[in-house]
């Protein structure tokens, strides 16, 4: 493409020849096609664009004009519309006119043709400037310059908010919404003083009354008489992208200057901030956006303040995160329910663990050991969120994403360089929804590409276990030392032994060139969202209850007390409830949500997502890519 463009630069356009531009386009298309074959990002879009029929037509028009210009045309007459008018009069005056004359009459009366002739005359007469009335001589010196602004409204809102100076009663444009009607006109600016709307003087009116005057005309021309602001503030248009960490609804916010101009958003939405001029109210668009018009959203400081006020207005909750899914008493009830099933003691779990290990060992023809499915490790995690006693801990001290943290997280588009380590793939979801099943299937697809992280434990190895295969077996002192040095992404205690996944275990997999796939408890999300691991978080969501029942008819769940018993209705309810809690607390961190309905479909979705996470641009926290300046 560079060659084609260079050729164009070297050859002035007037020397391009009859088909010069078309030739350049053909060359460029060919070069872009090669990029498409090489799978270069964006090349396909560019290829479609360059091949668009409208572009070809435009080039033909351009070439016709060029050809025409070479003949240096001069107008035969500079008042063609006058001649057309005369012709119309003459034809009408004919006593009995021919069919040809009637047709000519019809053609000349067409508004399009009359507009074309009028445009022709303007060009022929080189009459481009509007004729302004002469300035009156007796204008007082101190008279402020007023501007008449006519906007043609088409049911769409005006795209500006107004305010009143409480001392003088004067009405001003408070802000112009980016991409709205007023903004696109380029004629109204924040700070302009409004004198009249549609001939009504507005001084002293309440802003709501002024709005009513504007709204009387939902369509047609609205005329403003304004005194333009003399010094317009420099717009602070920074093109900032953020991910919302909170929900916001302008309709429920009494403090917003104009609820209709507000934009609602949900946790996890990516917003393009287009204007930060106002300290309290920013203007933003939600991505992907198909609207030109921005909406008002609270600035970081304002939203933080709102959250703080809301937080203090709530009844006292000692710890409002997932640890309180059920109480100890509830746990005892659960034990009673399961009396017909095989009760799981340590032995049962261990033999189950052995069975899994054997399965994995045998299932893999190449003898690659699938690590990271240790049942005790999972049980230790499950206990962490089924009791009031937090028994599982994570690396990051701010385990719950506090409502008092920043409500917006700055994000940037990031595409992994092929030579960089792979992004960590993280699966999470309610216990029993199928997180491990999906992870196991992903690794099974190709253990040369996908691998789990080897957990650590203080438990003594069983007879069949090998150090560095099932677990890294370490002493309690070393485990404590690692906790102290913040080296676990998450860890916990189960039946007196400690279990945990270290950053080093994940790093080992990534450094070997493989894609590390792990499942975590939601509270560990912050620990994996780091510059180094760049975790891509997949949330496994349960399908609706009926589908859960249908699809899990032949499946078995492992609870805190029982190994592999058939699913019960209570399990489905628990899964649904736990899922709701996870979503309401953590959905802003999900890169992808997979509804685990049909297992096969979920696997396909997961595989596609994992490929995209590694090879295609994604929104990631800006702090992963560059240090954030505060
Ligand atoms: N889409 C599905 N359709 C049918 N059965 C499924 C599906 N997904 C998972 N299962 C089955 O459900 C059971 C529980 O799944 P899994 O062990 O993966 O749960 P989990 O989310 O990892 O929870 P935990 O960590 O508590 O074990 C397994 O028997 C699994 O084969």
Those residues with Cβ within 8 angstroms of residue 387's Cβ, 6 or more apart along the chain or in another chain = 323, 326, 327, 328, 331
Q: Is the CB of 548 under 6 A from ligand 1?
A: no
Position 470 scores a pLDDT of 87
132 Cα to the center of ligand 1, angstroms: 78
Position 73 scores a pLDDT of 81
Degrees (nearest 5) of the Cα angle 260, 266, 270? 95
432 Cα to the center of ligand 1, angstroms: 5
Is 452 within 8 Å of 517 (Cβ atoms)? yes
Position 322 scores a pLDDT of 33
Q: Is the CB of 551 under 6 A from ligand 1?
A: yes
438 Cα to the center of ligand 1, angstroms: 8
Residue 365 DSSP code = T
Could you give the domains of the chain?
A: 2-70 (no CATH), 80-124 (no CATH), 147-227 (2.30.42.10), 240-313 (2.30.30.40), 341-401+411-625 (3.40.50.300)
Query: To test ligand 1's pocket by mutation, which of 349, 431, 436, 565 has the most ligand atoms within 8 angstroms of CB?
Result: 436
427 Cα to the center of ligand 1, angstroms: 13
Q: Is the CB of 381 under 6 A from ligand 1?
A: no
Q: Is the CB of 432 under 6 A from ligand 1?
A: yes
Give mean pLDDT in consecutive 10-residue pieces for the chain, a chain of 630 residues.
46 55 86 84 86 89 86 86 93 89 94 92 83 67 76 80 89 90 88 90 86 73 87 68 93 86 93 89 87 88 82 53 34 35 43 46 41 57 48 45 70 92 96 93 94 93 87 95 94 89 96 95 92 96 95 83 81 94 94 96 96 94 74
Distances (CA, A) of 565 to 338, 347, 357, 554, 557: 9, 16, 19, 10, 5
Q: Is the CB of 434 under 6 A from ligand 1?
A: yes
| Nearest atom in ligand 1 to 602's CA | 1
How many CB atoms neighbour CB 529 within 10 A? Answer: 20
Among 72, 53, 67, 58, CA closest to 16: 67
Residue 31 DSSP code = H
Those residues with Cβ within 8 angstroms of residue 511's Cβ, 6 or more apart along the chain or in another chain = 421
Distances (CA, A) of 476 to 371, 457, 458: 22, 8, 5
| Nearest atom in ligand 1 to 382's CA | 26
Nearest CA to ligand 1 atom 8: 434
534 Cα to the center of ligand 1, angstroms: 26
Q: Is the CB of 552 under 6 A from ligand 1?
A: yes
Cα 15–chain centre separation: 46
| Nearest atom in ligand 1 to 556's CA | 29
Nearest CA to ligand 1 atom 2: 599
Q: Is the CB of 378 under 6 A from ligand 1?
A: yes
596 Cα to the center of ligand 1, angstroms: 9
How many CB atoms neighbour CB 316 within 10 A? Answer: 5
Position 230 scores a pLDDT of 81
470 Cα to the center of ligand 1, angstroms: 21
Distance CA 547, CA 134 (A): 78
435 Cα to the center of ligand 1, angstroms: 6
Position 377 scores a pLDDT of 63
Q: Which residues pair with 394 in a beta bridge?
A: 490
Give the largest CA-CA distance in the chain: 117
pTM above 0.90, yes or no: no
Q: Is the CB of 435 under 6 A from ligand 1?
A: yes
| Nearest atom in ligand 1 to 564's CA | 29
| Nearest atom in ligand 1 to 558's CA | 27
Exposed / middle / buried, residue 247 (Cβ in 10 Å: 0-12, 13-18, 19+) = middle
ipTM here = 0.97
458 Cα to the center of ligand 1, angstroms: 27
Position 15 scores a pLDDT of 52
Nearest CA to ligand 1 atom 10: 434
Among 585, 551, 590, 591, CA closest to 571: 551
């Amino acid at each position: 493409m560079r060659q084609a463009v260079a050729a164009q630069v070297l050859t002035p356009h007037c020397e391009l020849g009859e088909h010069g531009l078309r030739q350049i386009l053909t060359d460029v298309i060919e070069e872009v096609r090669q990029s498409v074959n090489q799978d270069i990002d964006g090349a396909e879009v560019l290829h479609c664009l360059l091949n668009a029929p409208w572009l070809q037509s435009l080039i033909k028009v351009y070439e016709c004009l060029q050809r025409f210009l070479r003949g240096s045309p001069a107008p035969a007459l500079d008042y063609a519309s006058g001649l057309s008018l005369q012709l119309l009069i003459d034809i009408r005056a004919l006593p009995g006119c021919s069919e040809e004359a009637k047709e000519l009459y019809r053609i000349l009366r067409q508004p399009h043709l009359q507009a074309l002739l009028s445009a022709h005359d303007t060009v022929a007469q080189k009459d481009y400037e509007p004729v302004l009335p002469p300035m009156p001589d007796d204008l007082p010196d101190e008279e402020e310059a007023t501007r008449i602004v006519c906007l043609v409204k088409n049911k769409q809102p005006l795209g500006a908010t107004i305010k009143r100076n409480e001392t003088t009663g004067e009405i001003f444009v408070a802000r112009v919404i980016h991409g709205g009607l007023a903004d696109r006109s380029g004629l109204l600016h924040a700070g302009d003083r409004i004198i009249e709307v549609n001939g009504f003087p507005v001084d002293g009116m309440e802003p709501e009354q002024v709005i009513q005057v504007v709204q009387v005309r939902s369509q047609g021309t609205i005329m403003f008489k304004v005194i333009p602001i003399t010094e317009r503030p420099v717009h602070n248009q920074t093109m900032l992208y953020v991910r919302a960490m909170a929900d916001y609804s302008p309709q429920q916010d009494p403090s917003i200057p104009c609820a209709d101009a507000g934009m609602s958003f949900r946790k996890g939405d990516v917003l393009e901030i287009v204007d930060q001029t106002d300290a309290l109210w920013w203007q933003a668009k939600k991505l992907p956006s198909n609207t030109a018009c921005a909406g008002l959203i609270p600035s970081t400081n304002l939203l933080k303040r709102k959250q703080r006020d809301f937080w203090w207005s709530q009844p006292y909750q000692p710890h409002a995160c997932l640890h309180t899914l059920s109480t100890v008493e509830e746990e005892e009830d659960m034990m009673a329910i399961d009396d017909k099933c095989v009760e799981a003691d340590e032995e049962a779990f261990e033999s189950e663990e052995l069975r899994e290990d054997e399965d994995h060992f045998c299932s893999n023809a190449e003898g690659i050991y699938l690590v990271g499915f240790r049942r005790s490790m999972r049980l230790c995690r499950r206990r962490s969120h089924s009791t009031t006693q937090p028994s599982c801990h994570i690396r990051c001290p701010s385990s719950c994403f506090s409502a008092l943290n920043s409500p917006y997280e700055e994000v940037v588009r990031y595409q992994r360089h092929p030579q960089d380590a792979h992004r960590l793939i993280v699966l999470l979801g309610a216990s029993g929804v199928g997180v491990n099943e999906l992870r196991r299937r992903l690794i099974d697809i190709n253990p040369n590409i996908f691998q789990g992280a080897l957990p650590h434990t203080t438990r003594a190895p069983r007879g069949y276990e090998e150090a560095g295969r099932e677990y890294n077996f370490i002493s309690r002192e070393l485990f404590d030392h690692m906790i102290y040095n913040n080296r676990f992404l998450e860890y916990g205690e189960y039946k007196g032994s400690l279990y945990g996944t270290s950053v080093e275990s994940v790093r080992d997999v990534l450094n070997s060139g493989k894609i590390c796939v792990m499942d975590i408890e939601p509270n560990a999300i912050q620990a994996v969202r780091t510059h180094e691991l760049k975790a891509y978080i997949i949330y496994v969501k349960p399908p609706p209850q009926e589908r859960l029942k249908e699809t899990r008819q032949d499946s078995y769940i492992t609870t805190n007390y029982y190994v592999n018993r058939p699913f019960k209705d209570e399990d489905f309810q628990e899964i649904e409830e736990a899922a709701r809690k996870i979503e309401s607390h953590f959905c802003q961190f999900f890169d992808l949500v997979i509804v685990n309905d049909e297992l096969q479909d979920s696997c396909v979705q997961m595989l596609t997502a994992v490929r995209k996470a590694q090879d295609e641009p994604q929104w990631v926290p800006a702090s992963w890519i560059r240090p954030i300046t505060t």
